[in-house]
């Protein structure tokens, strides 16, 4: 009998108004509900135990540390020729390099997700997630 691996994400939730970010572990059915979502999609805060909030997916990285790109469709990993942008800062003018990136769709290979608060809920963020200093 094959063992079913549970999907698990580390979420970095940023509050644009205060400039603080919070870390949260997402696992089980809450993480499974995020599979198939794309960068730019808005998800309900109930998945992060933040009822009333709306969160926007802004990026993430996979199990090997390759970052997600909004302009690469699907969950696959692909080498792209880039001149600037996420994960590449050119040293010279006109420098280009071929780099590995992960697509914009959340799959079980994704380990870390970046989210920002798109709509605030009735309770304070600190009350729901704790202070940023307490989270590790």
pLDDT tier at 133 (50, 70, 90 boundaries)?
low
Neighbours of 7 (CB within 10 A): 20
**Choice among 41-55, 61-75, 96-110, 119-133 with the minimum mean pLDDT:** 119-133
Contact 66, 109 (CB under 8 A): no
Contact 77, 102 (CB under 8 A): yes
Who wins on pLDDT, 135 or 56? 56
Mean pLDDT of 49-70: 93
Backbone angles phi, psi at 125, to 5 degrees: -65, -40
pLDDT tier at 124 (50, 70, 90 boundaries)?
confident
Mean pLDDT of 9-30: 91
């Amino acid at each position: 009998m094959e063992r079913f691996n549970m999907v698990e994400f580390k979420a970095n939730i940023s509050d644009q108004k205060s400039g603080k970010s919070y870390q949260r572990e997402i696992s089980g059915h809450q993480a499974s509900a995020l599979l198939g979502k794309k960068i730019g999609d808005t998800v309900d805060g109930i998945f992060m135990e933040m009822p009333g909030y709306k969160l926007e997916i802004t990026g993430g990285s996979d199990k090997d540390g390759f970052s997600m790109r909004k302009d690469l469709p699907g969950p696959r990993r692909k080498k792209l020729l880039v001149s600037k942008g996420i994960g590449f800062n050119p040293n010279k003018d006109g420098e280009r390099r071929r780099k590995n990136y992960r697509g914009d769709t959340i799959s079980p290979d994704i380990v870390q997700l970046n989210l920002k608060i798109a709509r605030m809920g009735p309770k304070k963020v600190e009350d729901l997630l704790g202070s940023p200093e307490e989270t590790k």
